[in-house]
Structure 1
Amino acid sequence: MKCYSYKMDHDFGFAPNPFWGVMTLATCKGRLRRSRNLEIGDWVIATGGRVLHKYIEHLIFAMKVDEIITFDQYWNNPNFQCKKPFFNGSVIQMYGDNVYHTNPQTGEVIQERCAHTVEGKNPKDTEQYGRDIRGKNVLISRNFYYFGVNAPELPDEFKCMASTVRDIECYHVDEKTVKKFVDWLQSNYKVGIHGDPINWQEFPFKPYPIPKL
């Protein structure tokens, strides 16, 4: 059991997306999503980065990797249709992350309108598109802890797990420490959502309340 850790500079509930009872990481972090070293049962966590500096060494989320599927499997699965963006719906629906699928004739990866869409630009001409499709897998977790704005500070013994770079770090944490961290999580928190996404505080309106799991 390994733990992959990175810093977050934005938290809109898009990457990762913790809604509808399943946490998914389908955009950003392409290097992690395509990694051959990532296995079912590994953990992914994130703490605050330079922009979210108030959340440095605070746990924004933790997810146990339960499934690793392709963009197309995610797109076509009836269970994940709720994760497709709907811009006339709630804020939760607007930030759906089920946005990539493959054109069966050309093999081109298509990006549907989403939080990474740059209006007036071809998606293929944007940095977001390139970063997203570097990893054509989606990470699925039903064993997750999403804290968002209520991110707790990591206990001193687990601060070594906070990434020192924005990209993914993994191998500096031994399995014994990872197991102790998971025990701490499970002993103190229930699986599910414990707070709104951090960047929702910037909205000029009150988003719909998130149903707690």
Structure 2
Amino acid sequence: MERLIKQTENPSLYSYIVSYDHGNAPNPDFNICTLAICKPVIRRCAKIGDIVLGLSPKRMGNHIVYCMVIDEIVEWQDYYQRCKNLTDLNHRIPTDKNHNGDCIWIHQENGEYALLESKSGHDESCKHRDLYSGKRVLIGRKYWYFGSNHPTHYIQLPNAHLSVGRGHRKTTEQQLINEFILFFNEELKQRGIHSLGKHGNYFA
């Protein structure tokens, strides 16, 4: 039975609104969760062991879209090679405009990045935010994804301490984090969720 536990002594918890849940940010497919685009400050500042919590917009109830523990952080210039060479990531290179792969920037020999077509909606104006402000890709193999598209498991936060408006919220107070972990694990137990991974869908 998989449960959320602290992987490091004093993790931070980052919470933010998943404004567009189309499988790109986060990408929860194939038993691995990645945050490669959007939320540049979180990607730049988070560390291994931190918890990332994505919430639906207020109009959709601020329920939990996903919860991920970061177990690996990859620099963007290395991400394409990882996606190209490793079987657990190679489906993340988008093949057309309807593909939800998040490895949308290809590092070229001349040092520049080329943008691939994808479902992300990102264009050249997003390059600085994705690559130079965010810099890194967050990877988690311990995650629960419930989705925004009519989720079966509609979990709302027990209080407003972790909720967020614009941007994101970084929580370092360990008592609050401990309380969230207890709450989240109880929700998993009550709903009969015993495994990691996807337990819902994003918008097509």
TM bucket normalised to smaller: 0.7 to 0.9
Matched, 1:81 2:90: yes
CA apart distance, 1:55: 2.9
In the superposition, the TM-score normalised over structure 1's length comes to: 0.76
2:38: which partner in 1?
28
CA apart distance, 1:136: 1.8
Which residue type is aligned with residue 3 of structure 1?
Answer: L
2:53: which partner in 1?
45
Aligned length: 180
Determine which of 62, 69, 76 is the counterpart of 1:71. 76
Q: In 2, are the aligned partners of 1:15 and 1:28 still within 8 Å (CA)? A: yes
CA RMSD of aligned residues (A): 2.1
Measured against aligned partners, the alpha-carbon deviations of 1:159-213 in whole angstroms (never above 9, x if no partner) come to: 42121x2212113x5212213322433451331111111x33xxxxxxxxxxxxx
Q: How does 1:165-204 map to 2 (within 5 A)?
A: 165-171=165-171, 174-187=173-186, 188=188, 189=193, 190-197=195-202, 199-200=203-204
Q: How does 1:1-213 map to 2 (within 5 A)?
A: 1-35=11-45, 38-49=46-57, 53-56=59-62, 58-77=63-82, 78-79=85-86, 80-87=89-96, 94-105=99-110, 107-117=111-121, 123-124=123-124, 126=125, 128-133=126-131, 134-148=133-147, 149=149, 150=151, 152-157=154-159, 159-163=160-164, 165-171=165-171, 174-187=173-186, 188=188, 189=193, 190-197=195-202, 199-200=203-204
Give me the identity figure in percent: 26
Q: In 2, are the aligned partners of 1:71 and 1:101 still within 8 Å (CA)? A: no
Give the distance between the partners of 1:140 and 1:112, measured in 2 at CA: 21
Give the distance between the partners of 1:47 and 1:136, measured in 2 at CA: 23
Which residue type is aligned with residue 163 of structure 2?
Answer: A
Unaligned runs of 5+ in 2: 1-10
Q: In 2, are the aligned partners of 1:3 and 1:43 still within 8 Å (CA)? A: yes
